[in-house]
A and B are shown apart, each in its own frame.
Chain A
Amino acid sequence: DAGVTQSPTHLIKTRGQQVTLRCSPKSGHDTVSWYQQALGQGPQFIFQYYEEEERQRGNFPDRFSGHQFPNYSSELNVNALLLGDSALYLCASSLVAGAGGNTIYFGEGSWLTVV
């Protein structure tokens, strides 16, 4: 049973560029969320996707956008990259049914370095 998979593992981008990160949820899961984890900090919630729509959003600017596909996989897009966007980006998945009672599973993350 494949867990949450993310790609790429590492990437380096230049300020002002755009980046796309990808996530495949754990088999059977229908909800995907994205988190940003800066060095030495706890993860911060970016947004959540369910039924191909953004359902909840954290305190992140519009430069952060996402998409969920019919197969439940998801993308995180960040435009006009800033040095402060350098972080580990974690994808998490769960089943919406049962809401807070369901376990959230995380991928290993994508390390983004902006230079």
Chain B
Amino acid sequence: AQTVTQSQPEMSVQEAETVTLSCTYDTSESDYYLFWYKQPPSRQMILVIRQEAYKQQNATENRFSVNFQKAAKSFSLKISDSQLGDAAMYFCAYRSAGGATNKLIFGTGTLLAVQP
């Protein structure tokens, strides 16, 4: 069975600074997808960024980028130029590539505070 671990329950960053959130996972599959979701107080899960395991290039989306280390099973999220609106709970998630499945396996989340 696949597992996702987020070892940082809480993180804090100053506005305009950079912060990195950590995530490790365990799987025996070779093809899969990894995601970072943001959950603000409104509770709606918002996709921040995704990474296909077969791609060696790290995904980037504006101020958000990942460091994907497949051999180490590590998938960290870097937020550059942090903004007050980035404050939220961040979840790392895993999804198998095979089959028509919507099953996401989530970590326990990291609560990010952004200090003005």
Interface size on B, residues (CB 8 A): 29
Query: In the complex where A31-B100, A99-B97, A99-B98 touch, is A42 in contact with B91 (Cβ < 8 A)?
Result: yes
Which of B32, B42, B103 is A58 in contact with, Cβ under 8 Å? B103
Q: Are B101 and A100 in contact (CB under 8 A)?
A: yes
0 or 1 for each of A45-61: is its CB under 8 Å from B? (1 = yes):
10010100001101000
CB contacts (< 8 Å) of A32 on chain B: these are: 102
Decide if B33 is an interface residue (CB 8 Å cutoff): yes
| B35-52 interface with A by 8 A CB criterion | 37, 42-47, 50, 52
Decide if B108 is an interface residue (CB 8 Å cutoff): yes
Q: Are A88 and B100 in contact (CB under 8 A)?
A: no
Decide if A12 is an interface residue (CB 8 Å cutoff): no
Query: In the complex where A99-B97, A100-B97 touch, is A88 in contact with B104 (Cβ < 8 A)?
Result: no
Which residue of the partner chain A has the closest CB to B109? A42
0 or 1 for each of B12-48: is its CB under 8 Å from A? (1 = yes):
0000000000000000000011000100001111110
Which residue of the partner chain B has the closest CB to A3? B44
In the assembled complex, 29 residue pairs joining A and B whose CB atoms fall closer than 8 Å, in A order, are: A31-B100, A32-B102, A33-B102, A35-B104, A42-B107, A42-B109, A43-B45, A43-B104, A45-B105, A50-B100, A56-B101, A58-B103, A90-B43, A92-B45, A92-B102, A99-B97, A99-B99, A99-B100, A99-B101, A100-B96, A100-B98, A100-B101, A103-B47, A103-B50, A104-B95, A104-B102, A106-B44, A108-B43, A108-B44
Decide if B75 is an interface residue (CB 8 Å cutoff): no
Cα distance A41–B102 in the bound complex, in angstroms = 19
Cα distance A104–B106 in the bound complex, in angstroms = 13
Size category of the A interface is: 20 to 34
Decide if A96 is an interface residue (CB 8 Å cutoff): yes
Cα distance A94–B103 in the bound complex, in angstroms = 11
Cα distance A88–B41 in the bound complex, in angstroms = 12
CB contacts (< 8 Å) of A90 on chain B: these are: 43, 45
> Smallest CB–CB gap between A95 and chain B, Å?
10
Q: Are A109 and B43 in contact (CB under 8 A)?
A: yes
| B56-104 interface with A by 8 A CB criterion | 91, 93, 95-104
